[in-house]
Amino acid sequence: MEFSLDNLVRENIKKMTAYSSARHEYSGTASIFLDANENSFGSPLTENYNRYPDPLQLKLKEKISRIKGVPFQNIFLGNGSDEAIDLLFRIFCQPGKDNVIIFPPTYGMYEVCAEMNDIAVKKAPLTSDFQLDLATIEGTIDANTKLIFVCSPNNPTGNSINRNDIEVLLNNFDGLVIVDEAYINYAKQKTLIPELTEYPNLVILQTLSKAWGLAGLRLGMAFAGQPIIDYLNKVKYPYNINTATQQLAIEALGNISSVNNWTKTTVEQKDWLKEELLELTFVETVYPSDANFILVRMKDAKKIYSYLSAKGIIVRDRSSVILCENSLRITIGTPEENKQLIEALKNYTG
């Protein structure tokens, strides 16, 4: 099997000319910018946002590069990792012809983006212990399969996918393997970032929306070989990351210690919640989790979901999802929130 990016990219994407923004077209220093039809006076705010943002977010990428140990040429930044997911479809999948493979139960946006782009979704459900079913996957791949999505740690099950199995895919599939590591900061399993130099078909997704506590800023990261990153930059909206997000993300990335403390507390609280939940007679299984949430199988999940929401506590009902029958997905909250959740559940009488 020979990996060739050229064979994977859609012809129209190869041929198209990327939008060239005003700020791309000059080099050197300048002090008067009359090139982009901005308002030269300022903004009706204390901070000025009258100028367009850096289209390639270089300062922010340098910061991420140092933290992640990935050269900036191997980093794409998106409006959440959801943007990167959508762009991968647009670059690699020919509507009405190509297909992708997902492993349910998993994150919903892979399928939503596929449907939006008129791409067929082939499903190879996880095994009963939420791992890859390699034999089934092998039989699912065909000549038009372009992308395989592996979510690890997986949402909504919480577990990490065996690294060896991911490497089997990387070694045997000549399309792209996208490993979504949104929850990696909470995991015992290590990131696949060091393998980027090994596998030209690997794309890793991470986000500032989870452990970094910045879901409202919308900043997702894709790490991959430079040819893939260049295509992502070619098709993205020219100014996809706004100035405020770029500035605030740079500031936040300098503040790693609070993030580390929250992550540590979240992991401790997860263990505590698990013990408390297992004391409850209606709880059947608390699945192992490498993420900041736990999937809990119980009697009457739907009734318990309604009971909790009537008390103002909102969890995610996953009962209708394959392999998650009668299961709720519970995000780990602050110690106080978790205590209130357990108190409420202890008072549940059916």
Residues engaged in binding ligand PMP (CB under 6 A): 80-82, 107, 151, 155, 180, 182, 207, 209, 215, 220
CB of 175 to ligand PMP, least distance (A): 19
> Which residue lies nearer to ligand PMP by CB, 155 or 240?
155
Residues 6+ apart with CB under 8 A from 316: 156, 328, 329, 330, 331
CB of 344 to ligand PMP, least distance (A): 24
> Which residue lies nearer to ligand PMP by CB, 283 or 293?
293
> Which residue lies nearer to ligand PMP by CB, 155 or 246?
155
CB of 111 to ligand PMP, least distance (A): 13
CB of 215 to ligand PMP, least distance (A): 6
Q: By C-alpha distance, which of 289, 275, 258 is closest to 339? A: 275
CB of 81 to ligand PMP, least distance (A): 4
Q: How far apart are the C-alpha atoms of 203 and 225, rounded to whole Å?
A: 8
> Which residue lies nearer to ligand PMP by CB, 9 or 84?
84
What residue is closest to ligand PMP based on CB? 80
> Which residue lies nearer to ligand PMP by CB, 9 or 187?
187
